[in-house]
């Protein structure tokens, strides 16, 4: 195991095969978004000239208010924009490969194995007619043809998110779980899939504070244990401060500032960022 100081204010473990930028101590970028512009059918810009990168093993926070374009950006990366939206310009590179050149089928394979999506509403993402065992078992089958290995992967993932790994629990349906359990079960599925990039879209917004802290801790543990990169989308500056190494501020479809998260909060450069920091301070009084 080699330890790289990654230039984001933390020390993150990487194995010997990790790519490193020549002449730099920081890991290479896993995802690079350059000049991205998305518009609707009326040619109204939803995103304009968006530029950022996510480094290997990094948690990159994306902060923005409602309608800022956060979910549109996530779906553009995943190749999952609705029929009313299209990419007008820009490039999205994943491990140096241009995603716009991928066929829908290849994107679907990439989405399942290399990228995963953690939504705000876990319950809506779980199939209500299938038992938990069936749903997480489908993920395990994509990783190994051997049943004993599948069962071990499922058991290990459930234990990591503090859920029971016994038959009784796995025979339940999603509606029988609490909101926090549903979110943790989705995270367990992600652990089985073991993607290189996780896009977490407001995963702490629809849960109470105690569950919010559980999710933050779990995601940080996943990064530490698996070296997974995470794009963490939120509208909550306090949450961002707890989890993100670097952060970008999305305002009116543009990223107006990117800094290490602590520096972004203590020394904001853009007027909009300053307003968000001041508002957060007033709300915490």
Mean pLDDT in each 10-residue stretch from start to end of the chain (285 residues)?
28 37 64 96 95 97 91 93 92 93 84 86 89 95 92 94 92 93 91 93 83 90 91 94 96 95 95 92 74
Cα separation of 80 and 82, whole Å?
A: 6
**Under 8 Å between Cβ of 244 and 8:** no
Residues 6+ apart with CB under 8 A from 103: none
Q: Where are the domains of the chain?
A: 2-114+195-284, 120-194
Half-sphere exposure of 99 (CA within 13 A, CB side): 27
Give the pLDDT confidence score for residue 285 in this predicted structure.
57
CATH superfamily placement of domain 2-114+195-284: P-loop containing nucleotide triphosphate hydrolases (3.40.50.300)
Give the pLDDT confidence score for residue 98 in this predicted structure.
93
**Under 8 Å between Cβ of 94 and 263:** no
């Amino acid at each position: 195991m080699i330890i790289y100081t990654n230039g984001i204010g933390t020390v993150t473990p990487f194995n010997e095969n990790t790519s490193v930028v020549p002449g730099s101590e920081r890991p290479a970028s896993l995802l690079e978004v350059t000049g991205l512009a998305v518009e609707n059918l009326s040619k109204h810009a939803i995103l304009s000239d968006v530029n950022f990168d996510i480094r290997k093993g990094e948690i990159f926070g994306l902060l923005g208010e409602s309608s800022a374009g956060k979910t549109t950006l996530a779906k553009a990366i995943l190749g999952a924009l609705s029929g009313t939206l299209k990419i007008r310009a820009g490039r999205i590179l994943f491990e140096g490969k241009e995603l716009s050149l991928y066929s829908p089928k290849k994107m679907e394979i990439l989405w399942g194995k290399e990228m995963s999506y953690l939504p705000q509403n876990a319950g809506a993402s779980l199939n209500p007619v299938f038992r938990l065992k069936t749903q997480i078992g489908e993920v395990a089958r994509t990783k190994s043809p051997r049943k004993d290995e599948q069962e071990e992967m499922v058991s290990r993932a459930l234990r990591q998110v503090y859920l029971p790994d016994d038959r009784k629990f796995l025979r339940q349906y999603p509606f029988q779980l609490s909101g926090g359990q549903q979110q943790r079960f989705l995270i367990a599925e992600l652990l089985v899939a073991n993607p290189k990039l996780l896009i977490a879209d407001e995963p702490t917004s629809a849960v109470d504070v105690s569950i919010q802290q559980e999710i933050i801790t779990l995601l940080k543990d996943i990064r530490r244990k698996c070296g997974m990169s995470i794009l963490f989308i939120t509208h909550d500056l306090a949450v961002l401060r707890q989890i993100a190494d670097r952060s970008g501020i999305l305002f009116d479809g543009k990223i107006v500032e990117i800094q290490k998260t602590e520096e972004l909060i203590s020394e904001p450069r853009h007027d909009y960022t300053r307003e968000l920091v001041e508002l957060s301070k007033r709300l915490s009084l």
